[in-house]
């Protein structure tokens, strides 16, 4: 009878409901609001707001006609070949199969489990929706694995080019011969729990997330499972690291603060406009920035100072291309990264084609929305910055009105993250910039610098993964520093810049963008030493 029931359950939605009602699987205990709240508070980014919920014990759509969309979580793993490229290929194939990907976890490089004599893994997860029933979804994921090159006769837990697993399917608990959801060993796998938790928010206002937590079989849901394994304290160890794929490397930005040097090719930038318009002068400045310790050179051919005249894409390219054709060839660039400061899609495409590694958009895709899909296709990191309006309107009276500046910056930045993700830029390629000097007065800038952790926490209410991505801070020589220190000449604001950068790093910035790289590097080294001493 059980065999007949299993076979029928794979085909018919109506019997799924009757099976559930007949007590085929026991429903998990409801979460205690008190216990769940306690677990949230002990989590790295926890709000403690929770509502108890009881999940259904069987997939109500697991065997149906596919008409109802279900929220799902799919884990990705790889330790053979081009791991990042394989993930991106798998995501494209998943989308083409009818899976709408809505969120991405961070990217983790992890030590192999169970069979330890093999290369390190990359792990992540995605959240999305599908009309496929569970076993149809499983079949399609296995087809993708096969198409990418995974063989079914490999060693269990051994090397593999791709591994795709269904972690969650709606509010369902599934146990059949071929599929168990949630995975029965999820509680012992940090390489699964870390990306899974990334896809949740610390504020449990989402009904789907409440039901998912109840599937974890413990009062604190998946947060409690994650904390029992060590939680955030494990990140950055040899066992598991968050990484940013850029160029041909995986960057662990938690190891030290990175310094981005500014190279403006503009005649009207507020600090050094006109100095580096000629290729020879720009190359000389790039070599100086590198010699002083820059990790990244950020090249801008369009001024974004307040009220600056906007160049056309053709005008911007005319300034940019001659330098790009030379700078990528100089030996000093070996091991360094290039970033292009632009908000135009076609500039981003041309720059990456010519060797740039990162796209830095002060508008976060608002000025030219096409840039999001272009960057997604290019497969490079995307710096999305907070700004209201554009450079010509950002300092208007209307755009300087805030109730709580850090909360509003966080909310508006997260909107940019969501747009980027839905356009195909995975979270593991996103860098956040709170936009010092953009749509903010001096008081706002100071509050943001001192409130970076609160910005992370606020973003974490909506997406824990988004709260973990790198933060870039750019206070260098900005007007508010001149106002505070009575320095009208921007070049005289380097000491004030060091103070602002130091405060930012100690409050959670991972990258600082500066004109005087030598000072920036020294500040970063001291801050990193202070943070290590505090651990």
pLDDT at residue 113 in the model: 85
- Is 407 found in the same domain as 275? yes
Does residue 48 lie in a domain region?
no
Give the integer Cα–Cα distance in Å for 41 and 48.
5
Same domain, 267 and 211: no
333 plus 430 within the same structural domain: yes
Spatial distance between the Cα atoms of 361 and 373, rounded to a whole number of angstroms: 13
Q: Examine the domain organization and report whether 233 and 259 are in the same domain.
A: no
Q: Residue 127: which of 192, 193, 23, 199 has the closest Cα? A: 199
Confidence band of 535 (pLDDT split at 50, 70, 90)? low
Q: Where are the beta strands (DSSP E) in 217-376?
A: 240-246, 249-251, 258-264, 296-300, 337-341, 358-361
CA distance 200 to 461: 9
Tokens of 173: 């608990």
Mark whether 189 and 328 lie in a shared domain: no
Does the reported pTM lie above 0.95?
no
The reported pLDDT for the residue numbered 151 is 73
Q: Is residue 45 part of a domain?
A: no
* Residue 222 shares a structural domain with residue 356: no
Inside any domain, residue 509 = yes
Domain count, the chain: 2
Per the structure, the complete domain to which residue 311 belongs is given by: 252-533
Q: Are 461 and 203 in contact (CB under 8 A)?
A: yes
pLDDT exceeds cutoff 70 at 175: yes
Nearest to 195 by CA among 218, 175, 169, 168: 168
Catalytic position from the list 513, 531, 532, 534: 513
pLDDT digits (tens, 9 = 90+) for 189-242: 999 999 999 999 998 778 899 999 999 988 899 999 999 999 999 999 999 999
Average pLDDT estimate for 79-88: 96
Q: What is the model's pLDDT at position 57? A: 37
pLDDT at 335: 94
Neighbours of 447 (CB within 10 A): 17
236 lies in the same domain as 205: yes
60, part of any domain:
no
In a domain, 214, yes or no: yes
Q: What is the DSSP string of 219-249?
A: TTHHHHHHHHHTGGGGTTSSSEEEEEEETTE
- Average pLDDT score over residue span 299-307: 85
Residues 161 and 283 in one domain: no
The angle formed by the CA atoms of residues 230, 232 and 235, to the nearest 5 degrees, is 95
Of 165, 195, 197, 159, the closest CA to residue 179 belongs to 165
Query: Quick check: is 20 in a domain?
Result: no
Residues 146-173 have pLDDT tens digits of 999 987 666 676 688 999 999 999 999 9
Query: pLDDT for 361-416, tens place per residue?
Result: 999 999 999 999 999 999 999 999 999 999 889 999 999 999 999 999 999 999 99
Last residue of a domain, one of 180, 215, 242: 242
Which residues, other chains included, contact 502 with Cβ-Cβ below 8 Å and sequence gap of 6+? 523, 526, 527
pLDDT digit string, tens, across residues 409-436? 999 999 999 999 999 999 999 999 999 9
Q: What is the reported pLDDT for 447?
A: 98
Does the residue 13 lie in any domain? no
Give how far Cα 128 sits from Cα of 89, 99, 122, 138, 309, Å: 17, 7, 20, 15, 41
What is the full DSSP assignment across 128-144? EEESS-HHHHHHHHHHH
Nearest CA among 482, 508, 510 for reference residue 497: 482
Mean pLDDT (the chain) is 87
Q: Give the confidence band of 29 by pLDDT, cuts at 50, 70, 90.
A: very low
Q: Is 513 a known active-site residue?
A: yes
Residues 214 and 259 in one domain: no
Catalytic residue among 478, 493, 525, 535, which? Answer: 478
Predicted local distance difference test score (pLDDT) of residue 155: 63
- For β-strands 107-110 and 70-78, DSSP reports them as unpaired
Question: Of 208, 242, 276, which marks where a domain is finished?
Answer: 242
Tell me what pLDDT residue 507 has: 97
- pLDDT at residue 6 in the model: 40
Is residue 189 annotated as a catalytic residue, yes or no? Answer: no
Q: Are residues 349 and 286 in the same domain?
A: yes
pLDDT tens by residue, 267-302: 755 555 556 668 999 999 999 999 999 999 999 999
Q: Is residue 196 part of a domain?
A: yes
- Same domain for 190 and 109: yes
Structure tokens at 311: 């160049």
The band of 115, judged by pLDDT with boundaries at 50, 70 and 90, is confident
Question: What is the percent of the chain with per-residue pLDDT over 90, rounded to a whole number?
Answer: 75
Q: What is the DSSP letter of 52?
A: -
For residue 186, what is the domain's CATH number? 3.30.70.560
> The domain spanning residue 460 has which CATH number?
3.20.20.20
Q: Is 195 helix (H, G, I), strand (E, B) or coil?
A: helix
- Work out the average pLDDT over 473-494: 96
For the segment 441-450, what is each residue's pLDDT rounded down to a tens digit? 999 999 999 9
Report pLDDT for 204.
72
- Examine the fold and report which residue of 174, 208, 242 is the final residue of a domain before the chain moves on: 242
**Do residues 355 and 383 share a domain?**
yes
CB-CB contact of 401 with 375 (8 Å): no
């Amino acid at each position: 009878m059980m065999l007949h029931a299993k076979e029928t359950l794979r085909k018919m939605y109506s019997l799924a409901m009757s099976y559930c009602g007949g007590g085929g699987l026991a429903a998990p205990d409801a979460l205690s609001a008190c216990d769940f709240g306690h677990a949230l508070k002990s989590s790295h980014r926890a709000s403690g707001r929770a509502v108890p919920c009881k999940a259904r014990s069987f997939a109500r759509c697991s065997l149906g006609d596919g008409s109802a969309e279900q929220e799902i979580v799919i884990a990705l793993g790889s330790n053979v070949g081009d791991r990042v490229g394989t993930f991106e290929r798998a995501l494209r194939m998943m989308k083409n199969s009818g899976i709408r990907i809505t969120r991405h976890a961070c990217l983790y490089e992890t030590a192999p489990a169970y069979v330890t004599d093999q290369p390190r893994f990359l792990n992540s997860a995605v959240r999305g929706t599908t009309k496929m029933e569970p076993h149809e979804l499983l079949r399609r994921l296995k087809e993708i694995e096969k198409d990418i090159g995974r063989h079914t006769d490999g060693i269990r837990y051994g090397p593999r080019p791709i591994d795709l697993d269904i972690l969650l399917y709606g509010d369902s608990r599934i146990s059949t011969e071929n599929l168990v959801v949630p995975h029965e060993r999820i509680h012992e796998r940090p390489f699964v729990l870390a990306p899974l938790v990334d896809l949740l928010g610390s504020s449990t206002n989402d009904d789907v997330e409440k039901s998912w937590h109840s599937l974890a079989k413990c009062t604190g849901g998946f947060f409690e499972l994650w904390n029992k394994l060590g939680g955030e304290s494990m990140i950055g160890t040899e066992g598991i690291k968050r990484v940013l794929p850029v160029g041909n490397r995986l960057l662990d930005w938690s190891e030290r603060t990175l310094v981005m040097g500014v190279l403006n090719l503009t005649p009207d930038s507020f600090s050094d406009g006109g100095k580096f318009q000629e290729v020879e002068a720009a190359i000389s400045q790039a070599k100086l920035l590198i010699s002083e310790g820059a990790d990244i050179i950020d090249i801008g051919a369009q001024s974004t100072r307040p009220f600056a005249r906007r160049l056309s894409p053709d005008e911007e390219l005319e300034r940019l291309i001659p330098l790009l054709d030379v700078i990528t060839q100089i030996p000093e660039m070996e091991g360094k990264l290039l970033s292009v400061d632009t908000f135009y899609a076609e500039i981003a495409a041309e720059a990456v084609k010519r060797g740039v590694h990162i796209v830095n958009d002060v508008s976060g895709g608002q000025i030219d929305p096409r840039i999001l899909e272009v960057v997604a296709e290019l497969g490079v990191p995307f710096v999305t910055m907070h700004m209201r309006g554009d450079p010509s309107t950002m300092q208007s009276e209307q755009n300087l009105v805030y109730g709580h500046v850090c909360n509003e910056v966080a909310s508006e930045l997260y909107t940019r993250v969501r747009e980027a993700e839905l356009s195909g830029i995975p979270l593991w390629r996103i860098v956040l910039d709170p936009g010092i000097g953009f749509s903010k007065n001096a008081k706002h800038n100071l509050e943001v610098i001192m409130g970076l952790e609160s910005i992370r926490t606020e973003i974490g209410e909506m997406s824990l993964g988004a709260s973990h991505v790198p933060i870039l801070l750019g206070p260098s020589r900005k007007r508010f520093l001149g106002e505070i220190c009575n320095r009208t000449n921007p070049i005289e604001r380097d000491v004030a810049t060091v103070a602002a950068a130091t405060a930012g790093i100690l409050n959670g910035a991972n990258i600082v963008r500066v004109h005087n790289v030598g000072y920036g590097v020294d500040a970063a080294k001291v801050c990193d030493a202070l943070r290590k001493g505090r651990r």
